[in-house]
């Protein structure tokens, strides 16, 4: 009986260490971590002409959980927000690392940190955990959105430690389908209000009967205010098409 390629690799031990390449040049533990990311709840990030916004599915249905403890979008600094998909405990460690880096930058240079420096530090940390023995990769994709002075910026870092700048992107469950819809709907001259409507309509289309506005949350930073504004519940219902 023929075994599949994945099964052959497991039998031969290529997935037993994060640092062991398969004959095809893959790090199998990294690929497993990428699968964990795609099981995570989705987030959409948009770089609009008047600021940035992240809309996320909290995917928390248990009414016994305190609402404030189930937030999906984290504040890194007053001008930077982050969302992530994957293993929640891994996410917490990277978010705290980013928050510390941001505060150290303010103390050292008396100025707000650039969003790209934050995502670069997160990406470097994740890359390091694919290179050394005795550790496993971070099972997380991280989305960073913020202002570089008056310029909105959006970055996404994957499991491998790569990162890219985007005008719009998605991470987590069904990210490929969401990105395909963003390619059709998103425009570079779009304002935040229109961006939120587009993102919610995409969530509604992709999730279909599972869509629930109460599971959604959004965080916005406008160029004018440079202040994080959180939207949920009734505030988001106004934006549903």
Using one digit for the tens of pLDDT, what is the confidence trace for 118-171? 999 999 999 999 888 788 899 999 999 999 999 999 999 999 999 999 999 999
Confidence class of residue 205 from pLDDT cuts 50, 70 and 90?
very high
pLDDT at 74: 95
Look at 198 and 19; give whichever has higher pLDDT. Answer: 198
Q: Judge whether residue 62 has pLDDT over 80.
A: no
Spatial distance between the Cα atoms of 130 and 159, rounded to a whole number of angstroms? 9
Query: In sequence order, what are the residues at sequence separation of 6 or more whose Cβ sits closer than 8 angstroms to the Cβ of residue 207?
Result: 57
pLDDT at 65: 78
Q: Judge whether residue 1 has pLDDT over 50.
A: no
Q: How many CA atoms lie within 13 A of 84 on its CB side?
A: 29
pLDDT at 204: 94
Residue 71: exposed, middle, or buried by beta-carbon count in 10 A (0-12, 13-18, 19+)?
middle
CATH number for region 44-236: 3.60.20.10
Q: Judge whether residue 175 has pLDDT over 50.
A: yes
Confidence class of residue 10 from pLDDT cuts 50, 70 and 90?
low
Q: What is the pLDDT of residues 92-118, one digit of tens each?
A: 999 999 999 999 999 999 999 999 999
Residue percentage of the chain with pLDDT more than 90: 70
CB atoms within 10 A of CB 87: 18
pLDDT at 192: 95
Most confident of 30-34, 164-168, 222-226: 164-168
The sign one gets for the Cα dihedral 138, 158, 222, 229 is negative
Residue 74: exposed, middle, or buried by beta-carbon count in 10 A (0-12, 13-18, 19+)?
buried
Provide mean pLDDT across the span 39-46.
Answer: 96
pLDDT at 23: 80
Instruction: Give one DSSP letter per residue of 189-227, joined into a string.
Output: T--HHHHHHHHHHHHHHHHGGG--GGGEEEEEEETTT--
pLDDT at 20: 80
Quote the mean pLDDT of the chain: 90
* Six-digit token string for 195: 């961006």
Cβ pair 144, 115 in contact under 8 A: yes
Provide mean pLDDT across the span 181-199.
Answer: 94
């Amino acid at each position: 009986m023929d075994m599949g390629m994945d099964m052959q690799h497991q039998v031969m031990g290529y997935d037993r260490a994060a640092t062991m390449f398969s004959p095809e040049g893959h790090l199998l533990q990294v690929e497993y971590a990428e699968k964990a990311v795609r099981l995570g709840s989705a987030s959409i990030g948009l770089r609009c002409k008047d600021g940035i916004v992240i809309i996320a599915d909290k995917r928390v249905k248990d009414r016994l959980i305190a609402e404030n403890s189930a937030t999906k979008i984290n504040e890194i600094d007053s001008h930077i927000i982050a969302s992530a998909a994957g293993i929640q405990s891994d996410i917490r460690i990277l978010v705290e690392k980013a928050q510390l880096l941001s505060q150290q930058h303010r103390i050292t240079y008396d100025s707000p940190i650039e969003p790209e420096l934050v995502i670069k530090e997160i990406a470097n940390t994740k890359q390091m955990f694919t290179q050394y023995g005795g550790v496993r990769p971070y099972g997380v994709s991280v989305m960073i959105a913020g202002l570089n002075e008056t310029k909105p910026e959006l970055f996404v870092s994957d499991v491998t430690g790569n990162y890219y700048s985007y005008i719009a992107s998605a991470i987590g469950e069904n990210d490929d389908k969401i990105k395909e819809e963003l390619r059709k709907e998103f425009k570079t001259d779009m304002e935040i209000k229109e961006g939120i409507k587009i993102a919610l309509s995409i969530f509604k289309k992709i999730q279909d009967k599972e869509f629930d506005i109460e599971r959604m949350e959004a965080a916005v930073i406008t160029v004018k205010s440079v202040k994080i504004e959180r939207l949920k519940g009734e505030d988001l219902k106004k934006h549903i098409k």
